[in-house]
């Protein structure tokens, strides 16, 4: 990929718009990033995107910022990471600076509340769309271990309410153990 000014501008603009629409917490940026970087720009593949999210979640800090830093680094080294971080941090910085000045008016404004309530429906729809695609990709592999991990992780997160970082670490340990030791031992026999 050619790294010219146009590329860096596109990277900045992509992370900026993604961050500006990340309503409702960290994971919301993941479906948007996937749509932008995997489907639209085709800069990274889905497997790599999932690896990036897993590592971002396991490290301290905000998942949206971490995932941006890592994607930027993957695409264009340290400079890419700096530009992606800048793009991700700028929208909340601008928006909150403005709101901090007159937040009571903002909080009680009927139209702003209506807009946000409406946008939430859009956010939910975007996530549903991406989850359908991603889970279908896991099921398509017909790998019963992967499908099993997906189901167990879902139960652990939704019903048992176990911390996301812990789920990631446990699944990584299990994957390392199963694919490197159990499966290799089976192949050797």
Partner 1 sequence: MIYLEIFISFIQIGLFSFGGGYAALPLIEVQVLEVHNWLTMGEFADLLTISQMTPGPIAINAATFVGTKVAGLPGAVIATIGCVTPSFIIILTLSYFYFKYKNLSSIQGILKGLRPAVVSLIASAGLSILMLTIFKTEGTSLFNMKLSDINIIAIIMVAISVFILRRFKPDPIKVMIGTGVIGILIYGIF
Site for partner 1 in 65-84 (CB under 8 A): 65-66, 69-70, 73-74, 78, 81
Residue 107 lies near partner 1 (rule: CB under 8 A): yes
Instruction: Show contacts with partner 1 in window 160-179 (CB under 8 A).
Output: 163-165, 167-168, 171-176, 178-179
Residue 45 lies near partner 1 (rule: CB under 8 A): no
Instruction: Show contacts with partner 1 in window 139-158 (CB under 8 A).
Output: 145-147, 149-151, 153-154, 156-158
CB within 8 Å of 57: residues ≥ 6 apart:
63, 66, 164, 165, 168
Q: Using CA atoms, how far apart are residues 23 and 171, in angstroms rounded to an integer?
A: 28
In whole angstroms, the minimum distance from the beta carbon of 116 to partner 1 comes to: 5
Which of 10-37 are b and which e, b meaning 16 or more Cβ less than 10 Å from the residue's Cβ?
Answer: ebbebbbebbeebeeebebbbbbbbbbb
Question: Are 70 and 36 contacting, i.e. CB atoms less than 8 angstroms apart?
Answer: no
Choose between 7 and 138: whose C-beta lies nearer to partner 1: 138
Choose between 7 and 86: whose C-beta lies nearer to partner 1: 86
């Amino acid at each position: 990929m050619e790294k010219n000014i146009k590329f860096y501008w596109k990277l900045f603009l992509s992370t900026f718009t993604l961050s500006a629409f990340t309503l409702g917490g960290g994971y919301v940026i993941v479906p948007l990033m996937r749509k932008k970087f995997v489907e639209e720009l085709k800069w990274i593949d889905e497997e790599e995107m999932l690896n990036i999210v897993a590592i971002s979640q396991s490290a301290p800090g905000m998942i949206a910022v971490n995932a941006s830093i890592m994607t930027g680094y993957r695409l264009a080294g340290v400079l890419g990471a700096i530009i992606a971080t800048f793009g991700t941090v700028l929208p909340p910085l601008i928006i909150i600076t403005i709101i901090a000045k007159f937040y009571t008016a903002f909080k009680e404004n009927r139209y702003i509340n209506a807009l946000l309530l409406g946008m939430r429906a859009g956010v939910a729809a975007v996530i549903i769309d991406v989850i359908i695609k991603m889970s279908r990709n896991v099921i398509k592999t017909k790998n019963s271990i992967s499908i099993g991990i997906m189901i167990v992780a879902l139960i652990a997160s939704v019903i048992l309410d176990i911390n996301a970082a812990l789920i990631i670490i446990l699944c990584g340990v299990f994957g390392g153990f199963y694919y490197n030791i159990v499966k290799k031992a089976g192949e050797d026999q």
